Structures are given as structure tokens and as C-alpha cells.
Amino acid sequence: MKLLRIGAKGAEKPAIRLEDGTIRDLSSVITDLGGDALSDSALEEIRQADLQSMPELDANERIGPCVANVGKFICIGLNYADHAAETGAPIPAEPILFMKATSAIIGPNDDVIIPKNAIKPDWEVELGVVIGTEARYVDEANALDHVAGYCVVNDLSERHFQIERGGQWVKGKSADTFGPIGPWLVTRDEVADPQNLGMWLEVDGHRYQDGSTKTMVFGVAHLVSYVSQFMSLQPGDIITTGTPPGVGMGIKPEPVWLKPGNVMRLGIEGLGEQQQSVRAYEG
């Protein structure tokens, strides 16, 4: 299933995109697309519902973040061998974990705002893993049973804040609007192999990233299991799993940074596309 949230910011309705492209309102089945509504039983209730009888929503309405009330936004650093190479960093022996503020989350096509005092804003197309049932000390063999589905994430970064201002990476990752997610949460039954998905990102029509989840250092099942050894994963938590090469920081001979007026387009095979216009902070 392709699940989404549609409507004005703060007033999104849970919805499903059917194979004919129509969008149906799921408000009579679930209150929102988050928390317990992501469990296997809740997803099965949606599957069994008479979806064609649900009210049709305007497909041209704003699409909101595909998960409501995200509790934790967990990021994995340097998780693509070819991306680590372009940054000059060694391949990590264990997954690098850091957090991204949930206040960064926006819809997939909302504007991205470059934060005040930014010098080096950058892009990163990533596979997002949405947790559906609590995971605590799970083994790798059973890890995917705790996954509700997958989504596209643009893990936007301010490299000056991230790398040159000391401390942890979180402050370079967490500016408002630096976490577009969606358009859809695609349930795990529709993603046969999360380690075989093409992914890409363009800025103003130029393709900078063109990779595949095949080159992940640590696969999705390993990551879910690994993170659950350090913290419980709750329904609606998102793990964003790293980016392939082609980020602005790695462009030779000179890095390329986002600037007001740019338009980013990005997508992952089977998970849909995003498009964001870049604006300057006005405050």
C-alpha cells in the first residue's frame, strides 16, 4: 500500500493512493498515519476496508509528511561505501548514529529554507525506514518484522554547522525544513528487497546523485537490529539510512552548495518522488 497524509499543514488527513491514482480518505479507519496505526494489525485493517467507498481527496492538494508525530528521527552516517570514499572518510566498523530534530520534518514538496548564517547547505537522498511495532534487542533475522514500510527522505545538511562548528553532527542536520519525508509510506510487503532500490537526486535539472541501496555498508535489517541494542524503537520512529555519492560537498574540483532559487528533485525506485524549492531565511 502507498499511504500518505494530505491537506494543509497541521490539518492533514490519512489517505491511501490506489493503483488507479486516486487518493482515498482513511479517516474512518485510522485517525492519523502514525503510532499504533502503523502496526501490522492496523495496516491489515486498511487492506480489508472497502477503499473504493472512501471519500476521494483532491490529488492536487498539498502532501504532508507521510508519518505523523514522529518520536525519533535516527540517522546513519557514512553508510554507503562510495559516499565514504568521496568524503575521504574510512568505512565505519559499526554504524554511525546521530539524531535529526523532528522539528525539521516537512512534506515532500514543501519549500526548504536555508537557515540563518548558513554557508554550506547540502542535499542527501536517503531511504527512510518507518518502524511499525516496538523493537527492543531484536536480532537481524527478525528485524524487518518491526518495519511498517519505507519512504524517501532528503537528509538536508549544513556542512559548516555539521563539520566545522565542533560537537556532534545534529546541529548541521536539524534546521527547520531539513527533513522532507514522503510522498508515501510504502508498506514493506511492496518492497521485495530494500537492498536493491535505485535512488537519485537532481538540482535544477542536473543529476548529482544516481546510486543504489546495493552499496549500503550496513543493510536495513542490520540497522534496525543494531539501533535496537541501544534504544527501543517505537511505532512511527524513522531511521534514515545514509546517502550514495554525489552530495554537494563531494563535487570536484569545487563543492556545490544549495542557494535560494534552486529546485531539488529526488526519488527512490517504487517509493515516489519529492520536489523542493529552496528559499532564503526571512526573519
Give pLDDT tens digits for 172-197.
999 999 999 999 999 999 999 999 99
Let me know if residue 119 belongs to a domain.
yes
Say if residue 92 is in the same domain as residue 32. Answer: no
Rounded CA gap, 131 and 145, in Å?
9
Say if residue 42 is in the same domain as residue 79. Answer: no
- CATH number, domain at 181? 3.90.850.10
Let me know if residue 64 belongs to a domain.
no
Which amino acid, one-letter code, is at 258? L
Say if residue 108 is in the same domain as residue 29. Answer: no
Closest by CA position to 257, among listed 154, 160, 153: 160
**Strand ordering across the sheet containing 263-268:** 112-114, 272-280, 263-268, 198-203, 206-212
Say if residue 164 is in the same domain as residue 273. Answer: yes
User: In which domain, by residue range, is 113 found?
Assistant: 73-280
Let me know if residue 63 belongs to a domain.
no
Specify the number of domains making up the chain: 2
SS3 assignment, position 38: helix
206: left (phi over 0), alpha (psi -120 to 50) or beta: beta
Say if residue 20 is in the same domain as residue 118. Answer: no
The DSSP symbol for 188 reads: G
pLDDT at 251: 92
Q: Digits of tens for pLDDT over the chain (283 positions)? A: 999 999 999 999 999 999 999 999 999 999 999 999 999 999 999 999 999 999 999 999 999 999 999 999 999 998 998 777 777 778 889 999 999 999 999 999 999 999 999 999 999 999 999 999 999 999 999 999 999 999 999 999 999 999 888 878 899 999 999 999 999 999 999 999 999 999 999 999 999 999 999 999 999 999 999 999 999 999 999 999 999 999 999 999 999 999 999 999 999 999 999 999 999 999 8
Say if residue 49 is in the same domain as residue 77. Answer: no
* Residue 135, phi then psi, degrees to nearest 5: -125, 120
Let me know if residue 21 belongs to a domain.
yes
Let me know if residue 94 belongs to a domain.
yes
Say if residue 46 is in the same domain as residue 113. Answer: no
Say if residue 17 is in the same domain as residue 92. Answer: no
Closest by CA position to 24, among listed 38, 44, 45, 4: 4
Say if residue 138 is in the same domain as residue 43. Answer: no
The DSSP symbol for 100 reads: -
Say if residue 137 is in the same domain as residue 252. Answer: yes
Give pLDDT tens digits for 197-206.
999 999 999 9
Say if residue 229 is in the same domain as residue 270. Answer: yes
pLDDT at 74: 98
State the pTM of this model.
Answer: 0.96
Say if residue 53 is in the same domain as residue 165. Answer: no
Let me know if residue 253 belongs to a domain.
yes
Q: Per the omega criterion (within 30 degrees of 0), is the bond before 245 cis? A: no
Let me know if residue 24 belongs to a domain.
yes
